[in-house]
Chains A and B, each alone.
Chain A
Amino acid sequence: NAGVTQTPKFQVLKTGQSMTLQCAQDMNHEYMSWYRQDPGMGLRLIHYSVGAGITDQGEVPNGYNVSRSTTEDFPLRLLSAAPSQTSVYFCASSETGGRDIQYFGAGTRLSVL
C-alpha cells in the first residue's frame, strides 16, 4: 500500500517557468490538500478538495492552480514560478476531511532561482 505519493522529490526552476507537482493516493480518500512549509511558519494550506470535481482555496492560494479530475490524483500547478514559491510542498489525504487523520506524502523541495 503506497499511501500518498508525491513527485518529484526535488525541483529547481527559473523564475517564470511553470511546472506541476504530482500527488496520488491509493486509499480512496475523498479529501486531498496541498500545503507549503516554510521555516517558522508551520504548514500553510494552499488548496484543498473534498472530492473529484470540487476544489477550494486555502490560506495561500495565489500563484497556484489545482484540479481534481479523479479521486486518486490532485496535481498542483505553478503557472509562473517566483522566488517566493521556494518552499517544501506536502500533499495530504484523509477520508472525508475535518475530523479524519491526514496522511502525508514525503514532500517536494522546490527552489525557484
Chain B
Amino acid sequence: AQSVTQLDSHVSVSEGTPVLLRCNYSSSYSPSLFWYVQHPNKGLQLLLKYTSAATLVKGINGFEAEFKKSETSFHLTKPSAHMSDAAEYFCVVSDASGTYKYIFGTGTRLKVLA
C-alpha cells in the first residue's frame, strides 16, 4: 500500500532564505512522486515530478526535489523564498502496481515573512 507523510503542517521562512518542505513516502513498487502547489482559493498546479530518471528533479519557479530511496524521502527545496511562494504544497505518490491511485499528503502551508 502507498502512503505519504508531510512532516510539517506549517513552515514559516523569511523572504530570501531557503525553503525546505519535507515528504516521506511508502510504496511497495517503484513510485512516481509529485509536488503540487495550491495558492489560496485556486486549483492545484504541478511543481515537479519524479519517475525514476534523475534523482534530482528541477521544477518551476526555482523549486527542486531530491529522491532518496534509502531514506524514502522526496523533500522540496528552494534556495531563496519569494513572497509569491506563500501557498499550500502537496506531496503525492503513485506506484506501478496497477491501482492507478494517487495518494496525497496532508499538505504544508508555507508562510513567507517580509
A residues near B, CB below 8 A? 31, 33, 35, 40-45, 48, 50, 58, 90, 92, 96-99, 101-102, 104-107
Contacts and interface: CB of A to CB of B under 8 A. Distances in A.
Interface string B11-47: 0000000000000000000001010100000111110
Interface in B81-114: 90, 92, 94-96, 98-107
B22 to A, nearest CB: 15
Contacts of A102: 34, 44, 46, 92, 102
Interface in B37-65: 42-46, 49, 51
Contacts of A105: 43
A79 B76 CA distance: 40
Nearest to B91: A42
Contacts of B95: 98
B43 A107 contact: yes
Contacts of B106: 40-42
Contacts of B101: 45, 48, 58
Contact of A42 (B46, B51, B90): B90
B72 interface: no
B80 interface: no
A42 B100 contact: no
B43 A106 contact: yes
Contacts of B102: 33, 45, 97, 102
A101 B43 contact: no
Nearest to A30: B100
23 contacts: A31-B100, A40-B9, A41-B106, A42-B104, A42-B107, A44-B104, A45-B102, A48-B101, A90-B44, A92-B44, A97-B102, A98-B95, A98-B96, A99-B32, A99-B94, A101-B34, A102-B44, A102-B92, A102-B102, A104-B43, A104-B45, A105-B43, A107-B43
